[in-house]
Structures are given as structure tokens and as C-alpha cells.
Structure 1
């Protein structure tokens, strides 16, 4: 029991020691710094700072960054942090504490643009900190600075960005993974604000975080969920996609990727898709402050660009955050000329020059050093100029005058088109290479004498394929100073003889005449003949070159195919009562039809065909290769009148004589057999056993032979 008890507690002590070891390893701040930080967090409700001082800065002067500042605090201050939070130019901008207090010490960090005013070993009162802030001056060393400088004055160490109203802090933690950095950031708190691994959504924020913090490291972007869709995994932007793709990707909100080519990672990140986590690259690895991507753990080599050096925590924007008033901001607008415009003059004339300034009044000068102001305001109209001239402008505010900015007016020579090409005429159509030489600038090409759109520029212009006379125009353009007129270039297209290719049918063994189709031309046939028409008797392809005697002597070739059409083939003749349809096994549009051999038609259907034995004809429309086939039309009289007047005295089926085996049976309405007709008895006279039957309707059945169906119908006997 004792041994067991001892082992149990020994294990507990080992685990406790391990936890303490890893806990201290993951905490980036020293114990003293941690206590200091916690003390700052405790001042959330007890410390408030406000400041005024949005001013105009005169170049190469010094100016206080505030006009007034107030701090209300029940806690003892140990330091004030003043940072140029946007617009900072390293190497030009500086902050300096003037009239130093023996109880305070100031230090300037040019990398982050931060002036720290801290209490030394002696105590410093709140009023001494306030006086020190009022004594801080800004200075820029450039003769022509521009832009706006924003200053944040904070009671805490974290950097404050006025545009986002958030706080940012780099935490040094060499070798930390992205996941551990994310958890550590989420566990941090700054004056009551919840921390998270930074999300960067604007260029202002990217420059501030990437260039002015004291280190570089992990940020909250990842494409681990779905490659290559990068989203923010932390903070209020969690789940927001900000970029997709790789080199051919696209920004959807804001991205600041580095185009730096990383060195070989020694195989550590060879796995495709492993670089799923974003970080700000260290200085010297591409553009400062831009992002790279690497694996969850990065490189294990401290010399490698992908080695994790720490992480950046952002405070602000989370639900429930109550913003402390521990930071104030002011700004300086640098007096400068921000924009100028000077239109060119063509030949000679005046120009309206324009300028914009960040503040104050705009002055215009005739030279770089002369004292006389020739005009004031945002625009200035020059006198008539015949040559290039440089004017100068400067901004003035409360006695401060900026360095003069040159504004050059260019007077362009009016150019001329010196020469153009004159292309030779062509027959039919062609593409032309037009050339123009100008005295200055380059040539513009048009298809209209005035107006229109530019078709091309340069000394050479290639036309599209043209088939009609066309005029193009060339003008000279010297920096938008155009020649006074456009020079025409006429393109002449001679028309070709208008010939149409043909197919001609030959009825062998006859001959056929081929016609070039156009009179009063010169002709040359493939047979060697030179007349407009020739006669041929063989199938094949013939052509004739037709040449005009007008300007250009243009020739055009006509092709004539001499063909033979197949003969029609009658498949069958359909007879429906007296409607006859001729059906071919090879119907074509070039066939015509007849049932009398004299009158032909395009339709193969004939109405009211005469009864009896008939002949159907089909032939080519030119009259050759006629085929025929016989057929019978049976005509059943609808009535007969047996009154011996020589008209319709008997009932007889016309055409029945063509069917020697045919037999007709006649019945009355009750089905009684009345008569039978055949080859020997071809008609019925209306009697039975020579006794006249009464007027009535009678029925018949015609059996032609054993191969065809029985035809049935009825007729009327009239008395």
C-alpha cells in the first residue's frame, strides 16, 4: 500500500510539473509583463483619455500632435504609447518629446513608428504625462511630403488603429503552431476586449499590422476546410471567404499575398495541399508585411521563412465587447499639392491648368523661384503659347508655402500626312496594304472623311477583303494634335463577269449546246473553242473563261457539268374509280407524267380518267428516256334507262373487256340473283327472263380473277 501510494503521488507531481512547464512555455509574456498587462486590463473602467488636434502640417517644420489632451485615471500610469498609426513613412517621419521631464523617459521605435513615454525610477504624476503628450512634436524630413498622418495615443501597450478602432499585439512565441496560436489568442483579453487571431480586411489594416508591429507571425486565414478557398477562421469575420485559387485566384474581399518565391523547404511541405495556414512573412522575404502560407506547424528550421515566430492578436469587434476609452487619436494633413492637370496645346493656344491641394490656397507662378504670384485658385488659364512652357504651383496655408510643383504645358506641332500609297486596282476582290508617312506622331486610319472611329494606327494599315470600290483616309496624330485634313486613298475594284455555274442534261446519244451566258465578251473554253456557245455530245465537266473588254480585262470562269439523268421506273399504277396515280420507284423533281402520251404534267395524279385500257407515261422533262405502262380504268354507270332511245339503254362496265375471266353478279335489294355478266354477256338490259323489272336500286359484285379483291357497288334502274 505504501509503495502504491508513493507511485500514485509521484505520477501526479510529474504531471503537475509537466503542465507547469508547458504552461510557461506557451505564455509569451514574462511574469512581470503579465502582471503589468493584468494591471492595464484592470484599468478598463478607471482610465479614460481624450485628445484634440486635427491640424495642417507645414513641410519640414515641427508641430505638436495635439492641441489638448485629458486623462482621467484613478490608477497610477506607468507608460503612454504614441504611434503614427497610418500614413507612416519610415525614415522620414519622427516623433520627439520636447522639454523632457526628469521623471519621464521617451524612446522612439522607427520600425513601428511608436514613441513610448514611460515613468523612470522616480514617480511621475498624471499631469506630467499630460504635459509630456502636449510636448510631443511630429516632423517629416522630406521637402515634398504628402498624405495624412494619424496618431494613436494609448494607455496600453497594444497598437491602436483609428480606422478600425481595434487593438493589435504581436506575441513572440517561436515555433508555436497555428492551432496553438489560435487558442492562445482566443484566451487573451485586453481591457475587457476578447482577443482572436488577427483578421485583416483592408489595406490600411494590412500595412499597420504587417509593417508597424514589433514582429511577424500567424494570422487567422486558412483553406484547410476546402482548398483553395481561403476563409477567416477567427474573430467576427469567422467563415468569411477572402480569396480563392492560387496564382490564378481572385480576391473576394481583401487579400495581401506575397509574390516572394520561397526557397526549397527541404521536403517538409512537399505534400500537396499542406500549406493551409496564413502568416505574415518576416522582413526580407518579399514585400514587407505581406502574407505567405505554410503547414499547421510551419518549418522546424529557424532560418526558414516558414518558421513560426509568433502570432498577432486583434482585440475589438467581438459580440458583447465594450470599448474602453484608453486610446485617443488626432491627425495631421500635410500641406501639399496632391494633383495637377495640364492639357496639351495643338499648334498654339491657351490651356487651362488645374491643381488640387490637401489644404489652403493654391498659388500659380511663372517660374520656379520668382516671387510674383500670377494667379490663385484651383485653375489657371495660360496666355497663348507657341512652344512648351512650365508653370509652377504651390499650396499656402497660414503663411506656410510648399515647395513649388512643376506643371508642364506641351505645345505639339500640327502634323501633316506627307505621302500615301496608291494601290493598283484588282479584279473581283482583294486585301490591300496601305501606307502613310507623317511629319510627326503616327497615322490614324478611317473610312470616312470626317468623324467616325479609328480603324487602325501606324504607318501600315491592312484592309479586310474588299469586293467594291472603297476610300480610306489617313490623318497624322501627334499626341492628340491632329492634321487639319485627312488624305484619301482610293481603292478600285473592277467587277468580274457575272457568270453562273450550271448543270446541263444530255440525252445520249444526242448533243447539247453549252452557253457562256454573257454576250460581248471574250471566251476560251476548255475544248479550245472561243465562241459564246459550243455543242458537245459527251458527258463531263466543261469550263469557259469569260473576259471583259472593259477596264481591267477581268476574267471569270464558268463551270458547266454535262450529266445524264437516270430513266424513271414505274413501280405501279393506282386506280381509284377514275382517279389514277402513277407511282415511281425513283421519284424526282425532274420527271413529268401523262396518261395520253401528249399532255404531260408535274403531278403524278390524274382525275376523271377515261374508262378502258389506258397507258401511263413518265419521262425526264427535257423529253428523253420515256417509260410507259398499261392500266385499266373500270367505269361503273350510276344508272341506266332501258327505254330504247339509244342512250343508256343497258348497264355495262367499261373496261371489263380487258379482263376475260371477270364475272359480275347483279342482285335486287332482297339479295335475289337477277343476272350475271361475263366475257360472253357484257351488259344487262333491265329484264329477267325477258320480263322488265321495276325501277329501283340494284347491287353488283365484280370478281376480276382469283388474285384481286371483289369490287361491290350499286346502281339505279330508271323507267
Structure 2
């Protein structure tokens, strides 16, 4: 719907005064004698006129100059330019040149060269809109010929070495932005706070050189960029979903009724939408499309607002965008023309697959605009190797970089032919590694380039590790690994074997041995035919003799240099000494000088026990025994057990006929005094008389209990007790 149909251009015949949207350009008054105009008419109060009402045709701009351009150079935007005009109209005040598509802000620029050759022309560059303004030094009209001469000296430059794509230059004598791809004109009208419906009506009532205005409709990325980014304003456009919520249509101009968004997908042809992130949010009555405020989200994108928008801030309407052209019955204006430049760019395919050692490579590339592709051996200058989309190198044996462009040296791209040399066979740090018993080993191999792959077989199989140093898993038997050298897939087929030999270490058993006090002991490593090293004695024999306790270790080394360590703990056992023997009745307690758990005791020399306490020891002179359990020796000590009979029966039957203290004979000074129950002295025993027969003055005493008191000597306490005389 953006095609432009030819209609007649209209001019006014009566005296009228016009107001223009560019405040820097004063209105021009027309009367019957001055029947022409050189400014765009943007006035909603002027009715469209028929061509038959006017005598002067509008100027017609014709430009040539579709060219190729190399970045970081300058090029004139036209190769030829003319303005055909009515003889009654010789000039105008302003001419605009705009980069209307492909514009790269910050890199692209238009400027007038040789300004001294154009003394009546001044220029102003607007980097935001990509527009160069040519005007006179006074308010008087500038002859068309002067503008023609100046346009021929306007040049385009781009400062980026990586620039690409196409730039379209629109040349127009009107203030509105001209887009060659649509043939339409676009003008932002500032009007803070204007509602969408008012903007729609104002746009519809305006004209531009006789073209009917309407709120802009956007059907392509080119239009969106020109209106949203280069128009220098934020305002209403002609989209709405007021009819059906969520179904957005263009409702103004020739595209009225076209669905461009229907919820989650684009609508019908041409289905172009450029919503800001999260838009449209379908909240409340936000039914009208609006160019988003610069700095809010995606530059030049759209958001949905209510008819009034916000009263202040980012979502307050600042104006509206009017589009001219394409209405039914309208003829296209020719007050604008365009040229373009194309930056020829070569796009190489991915680099060819690398080869091993040597080979030939074929490169492919495509270019924009059908320009000739050139292949070189240097990034700048160099030798031209070939032209065309394909280049096959001669055989090469080293990695080489080539370069390709489509006519511009400044944006040559590199391509690489990669040659990897095959490494030499690996060199092992050691051909054989040994280990005593199961364990892990660190084996090493190197090559001149690349890396080392480790295998468990001489050929085939999968690598178990990659790297020059390989720490094996635990190995318990003889094993061979194979080192393979590889450089980026270029593999030497010769694998280097590395043997691992597992030796069995000598079998030794740790011991704990007893060393008798004042004696020596022989220690034995326990296995013959080996090498020995005793840590404590620094001796190298299988056996050593020691005379003191301690922990002794011996390293036993086999002929294969595989070692085991045996530990012998030598514990010295002392000979026991008896300090004393205490007797309590028939219980005897042996007290050693120092008690050890390896001592044992006896009171008969036959039966030994760990306890030092003995019960029911016979009366009389006894012997206490203490010895070391492992035969290191012992000692004895005599002691006396005094046995007091609990009763006696003096009936001359040879059994218990007298009462006597067994063991008393061992104490020459001992005296036993016997009393009756009333404390009357009955008898006295000593070494001279050792027993009592139950009589007093040879008269038998009656059966009863009698008491005794034994005084062994002055150093011991008196022992007292009682016994029974039975008849």
C-alpha cells in the first residue's frame, strides 16, 4: 500500500499566508503575481487544489549515483544531480539530504566539501536524524543551480573499518523525512499533551505539497528506524486495538484495517511490529500506539497508551508523526530523489578442515551486490592470488593465512589454511617402572609437539589418559602402557611401550619379645637371603643381640631392591623381690618390692598364681615364692603361720589330745598365757613347754571355753583368742 500514484501538483493562485512546522524557516506569502512556492505546505486549513487551478509545476529532483563504497574513505553521494523547475520559479530556501536507511549514528556523516566554492550555502549536520541541511546565508531564495552545485560536492564518510550494508541518501527540498523504499514523507509535529484522537484529526487535515496527511503507519524496519530513531520526537502513530482488545490494526491512511499484531504472533501481511519489551501490556484502556520516549527500553520501539497518555513523564505524548503519500488518487511528488552506496563485503565460508603435514585447501566466499571477490596473501596490499568465489591454494606444508575482500581493501577478512605436523614417536622418561607391591605409579613420556595419549594396547583401543604425565590406577601385577603422540588429530602410529613391574616385598612379621633383667637377647629379622639394616643398632646382619629394652626395626630388602620393615618391641622383665609377707591367721599376703603384671606367686613352690593373697596356709614355718612368668628368675622369703586350734579333746585317743600353737617354735621368746572364763590363770606355754593337756595341778578341768594371749616378742602386738575344751 506504500506505492505512490501520480497526481498533479497544486499551487495556490490567491494571496495566502502559510505557517510551516520548521520554526527556523519563515512563511512565504504567495499572490497572483508570484504564482509559485518553494517550501513544503503543511497546513490543515488549505484544501487540495486541482492542477488546472495553477500555472506552475513543482520542481523535479533527479539524482544518479548508485555506487560502491569502501569504509574510511569519502565518496560523493551523487554522480549527477539536476533540479528541473518551472521557469517562473528559480530557487528555494532549504534543501535536505538525509541518510534515510542503513544509518549508523556516530560513524556515518555527510558534509559539504569545497565550501569556498559555494559562498551562498551554509550547512548544518544533525547526527541524531542523519540529516544535512543546506540553506542560504540570507532569508532570500537560493537559486536551484547553487543547490545543484552544492549537492554534487556533498560527500559521505564512515569512520569504522568494519562498516557494512547499504546507505540510502534522500535529497528533498521539503522539511519532511523522505524514505525512498516507500516514496513517502514523514514529519514529526511537536504538540505536548495532544490526545491520540486529536492527533489523528490534525494529521488527516494536513497536507504536504498537496499530499493528504495521516497518522503514520509502519510496515517495515526501514520505516521504524526512520520514524522512531531519526525523527527526533516521541509521539502518536496510527495503530489501535480499540475495536477488538488484543487485535492491533493500522486505522489511518491507506493501510487502514491492516492487522499487524494479534496477541502472540504478527498479524496478516505485512505483519511488522516493533513493540518495546513487555508491550503491549493490554492494561485498561491503553488502546493506542505511541513511539516510546528515548531512553526507555528499546530505542524507537512502540508502547500502548490510553487516548490521553500520562499527564507528565515518559508516557506523556509529545506530539505525533504524520505520513504523506500513498492515498488513493494521489500522484507521487518528485521534490525528492535518492541515491545509495553499497559497501561491498566478502563473507568467507568456514575455514577448511586442517590437514596433516601438507595439502591443498579450497576456500569459498560470497559477496554483497555481486561484486568481484578477490583473494590476497596480505591484509594490506599484497599479491592478488585469484578472483571469484572459490580459491584453491597450491600444496602447502605450513599454516598460512589468506585474505579476501569484495573490492575494498579496508574490510578484508582473513581465512586460514591450517597444517598440523605429525609429531615424532614419544620418548619415555623410563622404559621400565618398578614398584614393591600393589600401588599407583607416575609415568612420563614426551614428544616434540602435541600431546600424549596413553593406551593399554599397542594398537587400537581408546585412550585412557591424555597428557605427558600419567598417574596410573592401582596396579597389582605386571602391566604395559603405550604412549601415543598426537597433534590436533595428526597422530604418529608408532606407540612407545612403558613396562611396569610389580615385585613382591619380603614377608616379615612384627614381634614383641621379653628381655630378662641383667641378660641379653638375640633379635632375628626372620627371613634369610636378604639385605638388612637395623635402625637402632645400625647393623646389617640378619640377627643382632641387644641388652636393653626398646623398639627395634629392621629394613629387609630383597635382591630386586624391594623392602619391608619389621618392628620388634623388646620389653625388659625384672626379677621380682619380696619386701615382706603378712600373715593374718591362716591368710598370707606377699608384698613384692615392685609389682609387675608379668610376676606370679606361690607358697608351696608348686602352685603359682597372679594374686599375692593366699588362704588356709598351714601353720608353721612357710616359704613365699615370687618369679617372672617367662623364666627370667625369682626369689623366696620364709614366714611363719601361727595356728591356734579351735578346740581339743584330751581323752587319750591320740587325736587332739593337747592344745598347742603351731609355729610357736619359731619364736624362742614367745609366751602363751591361758585363762578360764573368769580370768584365772590356768597355764603358760613357752619354748620349754609347748602344749597344755587340759589339767590344772594334774586335775582335769571341765569342758568349757578358755582364752589365750600370745606375746611373740616386744616388737609384735599380743594376739588374743579363745578355744574350746571338749570332753
TM normalised by structure 2 equals: 0.49
Larger Rg belongs to: 2
